[in-house]
Chain A
Amino acid sequence: MAEAQRTGTYLQRFPGSSTPPAEGTESEQLKIIELEESTQMLTIKNLHATVEGTPILKGIDLEIKPGEVHAVMGPNGSGKSTLAQVLAGHEAFEVTEGEVLFDGQNLLDLEVEERALAGLFLAFQYPVEIPGVSNLQFLRTALNTRRKANGQDELDSVSFMKLAKEKAKQVDMSPDFLKRGVNEGFSGGEKKRNEILQMLMLEPRLGILDETDSGLDIDALKVIANGVNSMRSDDRSFIVVTHYQRLLEHIVPDVVHVLAGGKIIKTGGKELALELEEHGYTGLGIDDAEATG
């Protein structure tokens, strides 16, 4: 089975590259290694993180190639959301060990906003309400900051409005929501749609969806899945963090990881998600103690 082979490859790669250097001069060897590394968009090596001194992530290894969608599943408290937050740079978490390379850059050395400008996007599990800052102002500031960082001109208000309306339509969001305060008084589903709208506007290299499906009805789920699927391309990757298999019916992943007790305990193809749905996390031999780490 193709998936099984792939699983094997993923598991085998760690830690570090197992490929022996090719023959040739030292500089050529270096070049080959660089080339190899550059085939990965994201490389997480032995990542450990704590919150207020309590270890949450206990050695995560993960590699994502451009164009791939990886699902990270796991029971509550397994560290899924922590992984997403650590990648985005949330201050509450302290990385105690390991490294993360994003397009060859050391991600952990970057500030929160530098990560975003480098192309990383976290769709929040709990999007924040910011009364007084309009959605439009927020989107425009974010978009133009990103454009500036990419050496592009800022969008004028006419082009910006056109783009914002077009993208809002794509996530089935009324233009009225653009004028309102960021997430202010939005329902759970509207907040999640707003996250996807931001992602559509900012066109990141790597989108991390942190339990974007939680609290959504099936229609909203489809809207969000369509938004994500419309963005899938050879040079864009996604990490879809979810508790349930449901979202993965609509956003079909290339690889599924099961996270428990702060470690990836199993990696497989999309059928792994189905397996989990059928047998539950306990069917994988994950007991509660391990799950809550």
Chain B
Amino acid sequence: MTLAHKTPQVTLEPAFTPEGGKLLPQPLRHLRDIRSKALTEMVLPNRRTENWKYSSKYLKLDESLAPLTQGSGMAVGRAVEGAYRVVIRNGVVDRESSVLPDQKGVEIQRFTDLDEVTAQSVARKLDTVIDNSTTQIAALNTARIEDGLLIRVAPDTSVDHPIYVQCVTDAQQSGSNYPRVLVEAGNGSKMTLVEEYLCEGDEPVLVDAVTEMTLDSNANVTYIRLCMEPDNVRHVGATGVRMADGANLDSHAIGFGGDLRRHDLQVRLEGENGFARLNGIALTQNRQHFDNHTAIEHVVPHCDSEETYRCLAGDKSHAVFNGRIHIHKDAQQSHADMNNKNLLLSTNAEIDTKPELEIYADDVTCTHGATVGQLDETALFYLMARGVDRQTAASMLSMAFVHELVGQVPLEDVREVVDVRLNQFIEASFKETNA
């Protein structure tokens, strides 16, 4: 069955031009106004902001704050077989290109269509999953939203296909856009969410994308975030997840560099026996910049987290990893493993990695490891001793370095899409080195 021909079950209003949030239901418009006003007083990230010290100079907010309009309608993302698909173009949900589920217990609505009651509950929830004091970008998003996506999965419902949310920027002109997603996964529900960030057009744009998720008891969410935009996009994004008891999060954040890439991932384990796996891949070349900030809060006892981030940096690019694990006073019997391995493909590339562990409980197991290295000469020699030339050997090893994590992504379609880009990345990296 090809789902692309299925009739959307949710009625969405026709496309519209952003008008300062005028089309949002009142409660959301109100929240937006509050944030907008606060924005004038808010200190935006600058050199002195500790968690932005490597990246603030790339942000260049003032030049591109003007919100983009819906654009020409050419940018529609890509079709995915056997999956639901919501297209958010320039921050506004595009009805025409979306394929939505008609499954009982699965509700997908855009903010501008919400009734007063739902809008009220959404407005109360926004900005409560993400810690606004550390991610200024989330506050900026709320101050600028034109629309958004609400995904609700009822208790004990397994969404029968992955849901792709494709955030497409139409960069025919410069400007900014603010995709927003709120996910509510009910007790014992199960879903796979793929966020794919794409762009067509080559004018400089800013994308500020925020996703908040709440996982109720025993909910199981696979979250895949693909940052596939070209260089002209300055992408800042934040994902916040709050997890109740027994909830399971499997997160895969994979991104290719650009003028600016910044992703903040915040996970709060708020119920016992929760498990969070955070995998990440960042790939940079030329003069690209990528900054991953993660924070895992072990609030209660008996939760486990496993974090593995890897980065390949070539040419004159710069990659940053900051991984924070915070074990609260009561969170005994917590297990937290964090591992960040980085590979420099060029002597001119820079990688800054910083694990931050704050542990206030005494009966916990925490491990962390961060390395920045170059290709292993022993392994290179081994490959070359079998007749493989140095360049091919080096690309095989670089590929292998991140491919372990690609292999853990549970969707074949995603693995394929990533592999294609990964191959291009590796090819280009080693062409440059040899030139």
- For the complex, give the distance between the alpha carbons of A146 and B384 in Å: 12
B383 interface residue per 8 A CB criterion: yes
Tell me the nearest residue of chain A to B405, going by C-beta. Answer: A132
Residue B390 CB within 8 A of the other chain: yes
Q: List A residues 92-142 near B (Cβ within 8 Å).
A: 111-113, 115-117, 121-122, 124, 127-128, 130-133, 137-138, 141-142
CB-CB under 8 A from B403, the residues of chain A are 132
Across-interface contacts of B386 in A (CB, < 8 A): 113, 116, 138, 142, 145, 198, 202
- The reply to whether A141 and B379 contact each other, CB–CB distance below 8 Å, is no
Interface size range of chain A in the complex: 20 to 34
B382 and A141 contacting across the interface, CB-CB below 8 Å: no
A-B pair count, CB < 8 Å, reads 74
Residues of A within 8 A of B389 (CB): 111, 113, 145
Q: Is the CB of B390 within 8 A of A130?
A: no
What chain B residues lie within 8 Å of A122 (beta carbons)? 385
Do B400 and A90 touch across chains, with their CB atoms under 8 A apart?
A: no
Q: Are B387 and A113 in contact (CB under 8 A)?
A: yes
Would B382 and A124 count as touching, CB distance under 8 A? Answer: yes
The CB with the most chain A CB atoms within 10 A, among B378, B384, B399, is that of B384
Instruction: List, in ascending order, chain A residues with CB within 8 A of B376's CB.
Output: 128
Counting CB contacts under 8 A, is A89 at the interface? Answer: yes
Say yes or no: B379 contacts A128, CB within 8 Å.
Answer: yes
Report which of B378, B379, B388 forms a contact with A142, defined as CB distance below 8 A: B388
Tell me what chain B mostly uses at the interface: helix, strand, loop, or mixed.
helix
Annotate B396-422 by CB proximity to A: 1 below 8 A, 0 otherwise.
110111111000000000000000000
- Tell whether, in the assembled complex, residue A132 and residue B384 are in contact, meaning their CB atoms are under 8 Å apart: no
- Across-interface contacts of A44 in B (CB, < 8 A): none
B16 contacts A by Cβ under 8 Å: no
Q: A130-B397, A132-B403 are in contact. Are A91 and B387 (CB under 8 A)?
A: no
Contact status B387-A145, CB under 8 Å: yes
Residues of A133-167 whose CB lies within 8 A of B? 133, 137-138, 141-142, 145-146, 149
Which of A121, A128, A149 meets B382, CB within 8 Å?
A: A128
CB distance from A63 to the nearest CB of B (A): 23
- Are the CB atoms of B387 and A89 closer together than 8 Å? no
Q: Nearest-CB distance from A102 to chain B (Å)?
A: 14
Shortest CB-to-CB span from B403 to chain A, Å, is 5
Q: Which of A117, A124, A131, A133 contacts B387 (CB 8 A)?
A: A117
B392 contacts A by Cβ under 8 Å: yes
B404 near A138: Cβ-Cβ < 8 Å:
no
1/0 per residue A194-210: CB within 8 Å of B? 00001000100000000
A20 to chain B, nearest CB (A): 40
Q: In the assembled complex, which residues on chain A have CB atoms less than 8 Å from the CB atom of B396?
A: 133, 137-138, 141
Give A202 Cβ to nearest chain B Cβ, in Å.
Answer: 7
Could you say which residues of chain A place their CB within 8 Å of the CB of B379?
Answer: 128, 130
Task: Determine how close the nearest CB of chain A comes to the CB of B410; give it in whole angstroms.
Answer: 18
**Complex CA–CA separation, A89 to B385 (angstroms):** 8
* CA of A224 to CA of B388, assembled, Å: 24
- A132–B387 contact, CB under 8 A? no
A88 at the interface (CB under 8 A from B): yes
How many angstroms from the CA of A111 to the CA of B387 in the assembled complex? 10
A113 and B377 in contact (CB under 8 A), knowing A88-B385, A132-B399, A133-B396? no
Contact of B381 (CB < 8 Å), options: A91, A117, A149, A202? A91
Contact among B377, B378, B388, B402 with A141 in the assembled complex (CB-CB below 8 Å): B388
CB <8 Å contact, A132 and B385: no
The one of B388, B397, B399 that contacts A113, using a Cβ cutoff of 8 Å:
B388
Query: Which residues 87-119 of B have a CB within 8 angstroms of A?
Result: none
| Distance A115 CA – B389 CA, assembled complex (angstroms) | 11
**A202 proximity list for chain B (CB < 8 A):** 386-387
Q: Are A90 and B381 in contact (CB under 8 A)?
A: yes
Rounded to whole angstroms, the CA-CA distance of A111 and B383 in the bound complex is: 13
**Which residues of chain B are near A127, meaning CB under 8 Å?**
382
Min CB–CB distance A135 → chain B (angstroms):
12
- Evaluate contact between A131 and B404: CB separation under 8 angstroms: yes
Contact call B387/A128, Cβ cutoff below 8 A: no
Contacting pair B382 A116 (CB below 8 A): no
Are the C-beta atoms of B385 and A112 separated by less than 8 Å?
Answer: yes
Contact with A along B40-72 (1 / 0, CB 8 A): 000000000000000000000000000000000
How far is the CB of A47 from the nearest CB of chain B, in Å? 19
Contacts of A198 in B (CB 8 A): 386
* Residues in B neighbouring A121, C-beta threshold 8 A: 385
Tell whether, in the assembled complex, residue A130 and residue B400 are in contact, meaning their CB atoms are under 8 Å apart.
yes
A268 to B285, CA, bound (A): 58
B377, B382, B385: which contacts A130 (Cβ < 8 A)? B382
Contact digits for B359-382, partner A, Cβ 8 Å, 1 yes 0 no: 000000000000000001111011
Against A, the Cβ 8 Å flags (1 = close, 0 = not) of B123-136 are: 00000000000000
12 interchain pairs (CB within 8 A)? Answer: A91-B377, A111-B389, A115-B385, A128-B378, A130-B383, A131-B400, A133-B400, A138-B386, A141-B392, A145-B392, A149-B387, A181-B400
Beyond A115-B385, A130-B382, A133-B397, 13 additional pairs, beta carbon < 8 A? A89-B385, A112-B384, A113-B384, A113-B387, A113-B388, A128-B376, A128-B378, A128-B381, A128-B382, A131-B404, A133-B399, A145-B392, A202-B386
Binding site for B on A (CB under 8 A): 88-91, 111-113, 115-117, 121-122, 124, 127-128, 130-133, 137-138, 141-142, 145-146, 149, 181, 198, 202
Q: What 4 A-B pairs have minimum CB-CB distances, sorted nearest first?
A: A132-B400, A116-B387, A142-B386, A128-B382
